[in-house]
Amino acid sequence: MPIFKPMRAAAACILAVTPALATSAAPAALPAAPPIPATSFFQLPAASSAALSPGGHFLAIQEAGPKHQQVSVIDLRDNSRKVAARFGDADVGYFRWVNDERLLFTAGNRYAQRFSERYAPGLYAVNRDGSAYRQLAARTNSVLWSDTASRMLPWHTFMLDGVGAQDSDWVYVADVDYVGAGYGYTEKLLRLNTVTGDRQPVVSPPGTRRYLPDYQGIPRLGIAGANGNVAIHYLDPASGSWKVAASFPEFSSSSGSFQALDFAADGRLYAAARTSGDTTGLHLLDLASGTASSEPILTVPGHDLTAALVRGKDGLLGARVLADKMQMRWFDPALQAVQAAIDAKLPDTTNLVTLPLRRATDWVLVESYSDRQPPFYSAYNTSSQALLRAGASRPAIDPGRMGQQRVLRYTARDGLQIPALLTVPAGQQGKLPLVVLVHGGPHERGTRWEWNADNQFLASRGYAVLEPEFRGSTGYGDQHFRAGWQQWGKKMQDDIADGASWAVEQGIADGKRICIAGGGYGGYSALMGLVNDPQLFKCGIAWAAITDIQQLYDGHWRFDSDLSKDFQQYGMPTLIGDPATHAEQFQATSPLHQAARITQPLLLAYGDDDRRVLPVHGTRLRKALRAAGNQQVEWIEYEDEEHGWGKPATQIDFWTRVEKFLGRHIGPDQKTQF
């Protein structure tokens, strides 16, 4: 459940490096290659997503155009490529197939938070060859645009998460009703014809904020939340009416809770649930009777189930499952053989296979990556075994110069095992300068084994990067999650310090050159690291950082927070603490109130339009640090940025500043000054 997590941006551009040539008969030592530019890590990707048409004849790929991201379609019969969708003033945001000939897509700021009132993405449809283009919903706020003279839907119309039936010109979309600042939204269903623009209202349960389609593509499950509980609404095929099939607390794990994943062919529901033991597994639920399978169909030892299911017309074929890294699990022997053949052709990468919804060809989609290789996309023919490369996300990145990642466990001071991801610069070993990078949320899983711009950029500059999954992180079982309740600045913080100490003890890190960094909750942790462990952390980097827990409850008179009132009332007291009961603890674990104890160099950065962690968190701390005499604070405020850095230009500027800041204080060539 991400709460205070800034977004991570994608990256790509093309870099040409011309090797130096020998000027004499005797071989001369080549100069060290210059660092890969920050733009190569944080610019928009050259290819960012791909999808097969329902029958599998065509592959749509989102890629960089002359100025903005566009969608092109590859005809797999002859490998021809044609641009289907592009804008002159914006990126194509998200897209999906409507049927074998037609695509649905959005525009606008693809990095803005979903359902943002400032950056409504609009809704468009087009044929795969670029013909029959139609705008279906307004692209921006209705205060600025009037669509009364057209048949366009209002700006608050969005795609659903599920792909739908993909067998006609019709799709289901959501008309989002904003309840008010901090009170969230609900999604009202519409059925929309992408050619004519005709729309039909669909009866939907109140308060729904996510729908799940069944095998026929009909939204059959509605997930709503109110008063601290999740209500699972089920569209009963027998009666044709919605009914509440289940209800359980939203913000804490509990008996009977589950995460809906997909429908089975017989109408039962696949869900991640905990029936026994500490972790969740895959179960089948009969929503009509309320019964669940006693034994899980699929488990991941040591992890809660995080999976995307692969279904065929007659049943479950496999699943894309997250353990320490993502992997394919196949129940179908023929598809397991296909996976083996693909892995033989691409032995150095994890290869994730996607089947077309109504497979009528031998083509499947393959997304490939490793810890050192950014993702690239291919189409694989299961009959001819031809592998067609469709696009690479970051062609400027040389995998040989990327850091190697290791998933590990270390022991916290009270004996709890803490999962972590360690990235070490290519070709380096010994006592390195270390950046402890703390994930946001905080109650979510923050890491996985894959190429990531943030940690690889730091590794490319000579830093080892440790990313702990401290207690309170999800994905590692109920015990690990509950151990972090009401432990902000306390045991959660100890876990992070213990990770840094472990790295020193193992000979990985130079104990005199360690910096702590993070955004959102991770920024809070970076600040508390400087408060609690000044002998360990020599500097700190905090962006979009919470600086006072009490302020999360109080807000600010100038700004409306987008934290839901439901979460503030029912979730925060359990996960973070109650303002009355924990007032003394809040004071002791507030970077703002403990500002006099922060004496190390600090880089602080905020977006001026952040509605999750209001900018006043930063301005108040900056003032308090100056009053306490800390003159080593660097301050950045980015215009028109939300919770995290959405614009590539901001990402590039920020991480360039981070590089210079680290270089001054713990850099690989910096002599110890402490």
3-state secondary structure string across 145-160? CCCCCCCCECCCEEEC
Residue 211 has pLDDT above 50, yes or no: yes
pLDDT tens sequence across 84-118:
999 998 899 999 999 999 999 999 754 455 545 55
Q: Which residues contact 653 (CB under 8 A, 6 or more apart)?
A: 638
- How far is Cα 223 from Cα 140, in angstroms, rounded to an integer? 27
Residue 18 has pLDDT above 50, yes or no: no
Counting beta carbons within 10 angstroms of the beta carbon of residue 20, is it exposed (0 to 12), middle (13 to 18) or buried (19 or more)? exposed
Average pLDDT over residues 356-360: 91
pLDDT tens sequence across 451-483:
999 999 999 999 999 999 999 999 999 999 999
> How are beta strands 464-468 and 509-519 bridged, if at all?
unpaired
pLDDT at 569: 86
pLDDT at 653: 97
H or E element: which one contains 559? none
pLDDT at 254: 76
Average pLDDT over residues 202-218: 90
Domains of the chain, earliest start first: 405-665 (3.40.50.1820)
Nearest alpha-carbon partner for 496 in 449, 448, 436? 436
Q: How confident is the model at residue 187 (pLDDT cuts 50, 70, 90)?
A: confident
Residue 563 has pLDDT above 80, yes or no: no
pLDDT tens sequence across 360-378:
999 999 999 999 999 999 9
Q: How confident is the model at residue 662 (pLDDT cuts 50, 70, 90)?
A: very high
Nearest alpha-carbon partner for 245 in 228, 215, 266, 224? 224
Structure tokens at 341: 């053949």
Residue 548 has pLDDT above 70, yes or no: yes
pLDDT at 558: 55
Nearest alpha-carbon partner for 606 in 622, 592, 594? 622
pLDDT at 245: 92
For a pLDDT cut of 70, what percent of the chain falls above it? 89
Structure tokens at 353: 């296979």
> How are beta strands 509-519 and 539-543 bridged, if at all?
parallel
> Distances in Å between the alpha carbon of 370 and those of 156, 327, 348, 531?
38, 12, 7, 36
Contacts 24+ apart (CB under 8 A), 319-325: 319/282, 320/352, 322/445, 322/448, 322/475, 324/407, 324/448, 324/449, 325/350, 325/407, 325/448, 325/449, 325/450
H or E element: which one contains 618? helix 616-627
pLDDT tens sequence across 595-641:
999 999 999 999 988 888 888 999 999 999 999 999 999 999 999 88
Q: How confident is the model at residue 417 (pLDDT cuts 50, 70, 90)?
A: very high
Residue with tokens 């109408």: 267
b/e burial code for range 229-241 (CB count within 10 A of at least 16 → b): ebbbbbbeeeeee
